[in-house]
Amino acid sequence: MEIVWAAAVTGAFSVLALLIEKGRRENTRDHGFVKDRLDALKDSIADVDADISVLEHKIDTHINDHAQVSMIDFRPNRKQKEAVNGRKKR
């Protein structure tokens, strides 16, 4: 009877060891998959950073243009009005 119990305990631990080993293999495989995905994401984020730098420069230039234009007097004089609207008959 002791041999049966010993065989049952050994079998149970063998099944447990197999399940643990299977989990380790799956974990290693999944980590490899996630690593590949993260590497691809890293490359696409680098492209976004470059695009943001270009857009930031364009926006800064645009804001500076507005700041410089706001210092100019926009009230047109009579000659400028006539050039745009045409000379009116009196």
Could you list the beta-strand ranges (E) of the chain: none
For residues 26 and 19, is the Cβ–Cβ distance under 8 A? no
Per domain, the residue ranges of the chain are 2-84
Residue type, 52: I
Cβ neighbours around 33 below 10 Å, total:
10
Taking the whole predicted model, whether its pTM rises above 0.75 is answered as no
Per-residue pLDDT of the chain (90 residues; tens, 9 = 90+): 889 999 999 999 999 999 999 999 999 999 999 999 998 888 888 778 778 888 999 999 998 888 776 666 566 566 666 666 666 655
Distance CA 18, CA 55 (A): 55
Non-local CB neighbours of 90 within 8 Å, separated by 6+ positions: none
